[in-house]
Each structure stands twice: as C-alpha cells, then as structure tokens.
Amino acid sequence: MKKSNNYAKNGAILLGIGNGFWNVINQLERIKNDQNLKFNWLEFIAAIGKGAIVGGVGGYALGWVLDYKNSKQKPLDLDAELNNLVNTRRLNPSDQSYNNLKLIVDTLNIELNKEFAGKIDGELITHGSTEKGTALKENYDIDIAIPFKPKSFQNSSLMFEAIKDFFENKIGEHNIVDVRKQKRSIGVYVNPGDQEFRIDFAPFKLSKYGQNSGYLFVNKKGFFIDNSTIQKTNLKLLKSIKLSDIQKKIVVLIKDWKTKQELPLPSHLLEYLVLDAYKHNNGKLL
C-alpha cells in the first residue's frame, strides 16, 4: 500500500475520533451550564465526519509527498551492500602490510628448511584464514604447519622445543621481536613497520602409517605440573576445506561479530558451522 493511502486512512480515523471526542466534551460542558439542552447526536456525527475529512485530506497530502520522495530514490541493492560491508572487514590480499608479512614468512620458511634439512617431510603448509580468504583486515595472522618425518625426533616434545629454540635465536633478525610457546604452536611476533603481527608455526610429526595424518604436540606445561600430550591431526585435510564465495562472506561477517563480542570461538569451527548449515539446507541457500 502506498503511503498516501495509508496516511489518509490513519489520518481520517485519528482526527475523526479526536474531533468527535472533543465535541462530546464541548456538548457536556454546554449541558452543564444549561439544563434545558440535550445531547445532539447529529452534531456529534457531523464533528466526526469533519475530523475524518480534514484528517484524511491532510494524511493523503503528507503520504503523497513521502511517496514522491521515495519514487526518486533507487531501490536498495542488498548484494552490493553485503559486498561493501564484507570489503570493509575482510583482508585485501594486496594489502602492503600483509605482503610484507608474507615476505618474512617466506624467508623464515627457507631458513627452517635449511636448519632441519632431512627432518622436514615435504613443503611447509600455509593454511588458515589468510589462505581461505576469510581473514579480517584488523585482526589476522599467518598459520604455518611444519610436517616432520616420523623418526625426525625422539618425541614430539623435543620437536616442539627445537622449533621454539630456533626462533628464539632469531630474535632481532627478520623483524622478530618475541617468541612465545602456545598450546599447539610457536607464536613468532614480528614488527615490520608500525604494527605487530603473529606467525604461528605448528610442528607435527607425520604418522608412519599414513602420509597425511600426524601428531601435534599439545603444550600444557604449568609451574608445578606438566600435562602436555599429543593430538592426532590432519592439517593437510584442514587446508582442503573449500568455501564458496558467499560462504566466505558469511564467515567473515560472523568472525567480525565474534571478535567484537570477544567470543573464544576457533575460526575453523565457524567454517564448519556455515558448511553444516548449507548441508542441512541443501538447495535452499545460495
């Protein structure tokens, strides 16, 4: 329904009732002053009619003006608005800071391969949101998985400590400012300009029974007790997760909301959530 018709209808009802109510008050006041007078129903009905006419005409005029203004506006393009919103949140692959960070990663990967030649099995695996196109421009890091041969270290703890020691010895080089042990990776903090970034290196030992699966070291060492363990994983399978363009946009917006709400939800779980939603609504979602 056009605003002119809607406003005319509402104006007629409101002003008709209002004018009728005012007439009742006015007549009762006159009857109070003159006991010979009686309530005039025709006057009451006429008051309602006059109010309805004035309200209807006024409402129609106001609605017509609004309809005219709306006719001059272009309809909202939801796809364009969604794209614009996502682009303000998502990391641009051509971002200069991001590309500077990638250069540092390439250099560190070369030095890792030299240091652990004969122990690393194949290429280092870059995975995570920067590779999938779901990284936020204001909050991102680069994730690197280091696949070691099954017998490269006596145990996973020694492998984890070796990577930590390697990077600690690099502090001051390649813009490295700090190195921290994390739960499943070594966090290497670099500052190539005026902003600090983190590169997560996750070493894992490949299983001798399969080329893709392996074991991550899970660091749970405290001041008085060490509950560290290993966790079976398949980082190569993680990299194989494929999202459509629209699914990537949804993930970006959910991650942005998650970051603002400070919710501790891993990004890969959000990706599985979106994929699962599409799976259970097959054919209903674009």
Q: What is the pLDDT of residue 31?
A: 78
Q: What is the largest CA-CA distance in the chain?
A: 116
The pLDDT value given to residue 258: 82
- In this structure, is residue 257 part of a structural domain? no
Distance CA 235, CA 126 (A): 10
Report d(CA 167, CA 118) in Å as an integer.
19
The CATH number linked to 156 is 3.30.460.90
223 assigned to some structural domain: yes
Number of compact structural domains in the chain: 2
Residues 125 and 205 in one domain: yes
Structural domain contains residue 85: no
Task: Answer yes or no: are the C-beta atoms of 189 and 196 closer than 8 Å.
Answer: yes
Contact between residue 142 and residue 124 where contact means Cβ atoms under 8 Å apart: no
Please indicate, yes or no, whether residues 118 and 231 belong to a single structural domain of this protein: yes
- The verdict on 140 and 201 lying in the same domain is yes
Does one domain contain both 48 and 128?
A: no
Give the residue numbers spanning the domain of 66. 3-71
pTM of the shown model:
0.68
Q: Chunk the chain into consecutive blocks of 10 residues (it has 286) and report each block's average pLDDT, rounded to whole numbers.
A: 67 76 81 80 80 69 68 63 84 92 95 94 89 90 93 92 96 94 93 90 85 82 74 72 85 85 80 81 63
Domain-embedded: residue 281: no
